[in-house]
Structure 1
């Protein structure tokens, strides 16, 4: 247990399929993204949850009401506030292997339900309490197309995060090393990419 009474993900008791939990990004006491989602699987090897377009949650925006990326020069330093917002863009199956510093988001078209691609989100290994799972996003991401081609996203924002004091150069290098690790898993087509989750339907 940590100071907030949270235990590492992958440890019992596990949630049952169909239970509703929350998935929270942010520093302790400073959430930046909170959404309820439905448990698909939870055990020592994997947490899988489903998030439907239109689900109401809470996200951080600038205190003046603009989006965080409205001004790159202050994207990591501007005062923030939390607002209610319906989830949009894609239905999402979220997959986190306990202990890994990244999750894989499987995207499905909001209208047709067709598989769109994989989004690899670099983040802290998860901790949890009885109601949800907690992690912290680390800016850099990797997109994987259905044909398995891939590319990094937001490398420029990681540079800004260092310039604006969110990360040290050493921390940014560690985040980049995680991206290297993910790309090796993609090249080998290891879990969870090889597990058929793109065929999942709720």
Structure 2
């Protein structure tokens, strides 16, 4: 992806402070496919860690006719789109990006009890940032990891569709699959961030819900 020149690689100073609000964007500034404001938990040369709570308002793309993107697989990557504002409705999510890696690790927690549900390795471009937030691009394929460390790949069929519908070349899809291989190697070795104890994280109860800029 061609990012504006003023963006810099993640993992470089200045860093954000714990409790600060930033935006996490998939897509270019001004043309996001998904953007939510989040609270910084940690930001340094090793990792950016943010907290996204259920109910936070964000912007995302749906079909121009109002249906969800996956409503019709025949044109899921080519259908006209529009932007809507919606509350985040999945699990509370701790998002971790380690600079330079082409994936982030998401930890899901139940909205009612805070119980840890599992890890989700989201394959994406290595992050860049500006003063306000971090930017990447989703690469369709993912890896799900259960609390007992069993894991499997998710959306392999959608990656095939992405090639068929022209979002990726076969070579690009092969590179994305290689990132899944890398992730699974880290899981088997139980390396960072899986070994870092983030599944016990609980947010500061005094943190306000961040709002879209």
- Same fold, judged at TM 0.5 (above): yes
Aligned with 1:99: secondary structure?
coil
Q: Does 1:69 align with 2:70?
A: yes
Give the aligned length. 201
Partner of 1:24: 25
Task: Identify the residue that residue 103 of structure 2 maps to in structure 1.
Answer: 102
What CA distance in whole angstroms lies between the structure 2 residues aligned with 1:135 and 1:145? 25
Match status 1:46 vs 2:47: yes
- Distance, in Å, in 1 between the alignment partners of 2:133 and 2:18 is 14
**C-alpha separation in 2, matches of 1:199 and 1:122:** 24
**Which range is displaced more, 49-58 or 19-28?**
19-28
> Runs of at least 4 residues of structure 1 off by over 2 A?
27-30
Q: How does 1:1-202 map to 2 (within 5 A)?
A: 3-27=4-28, 29-202=30-203
Where 1:110 maps in the other structure, the secondary structure is: coil
Shift of 1:89: 1.7
TM-score between the two structures when normalised by the length of structure 2: 0.93
**1:60, CA displacement in angstroms?**
0.4
Between the aligned partners of 1:30 and 1:57, the Cα distance in structure 2 is: 14
In 2, Cα distance between equivalents of 1:47 and 1:155: 27
Unaligned runs of 5+ in 1: none
Task: Return the alpha-carbon distance in structure 1 between the equivalents of residues 20 and 136 of structure 2.
Answer: 19
Gaps of 5+ in 2: 204-213
Structure 1 residues 199 and 132, CA gap change in structure 2 (3 angstroms): same
Secondary structure at the residue paired with 1:180? helix
- Once residues 174 and 24 of structure 1 are traced to their aligned partners in structure 2, the CA distance between those partners, rounded to angstroms, is 22
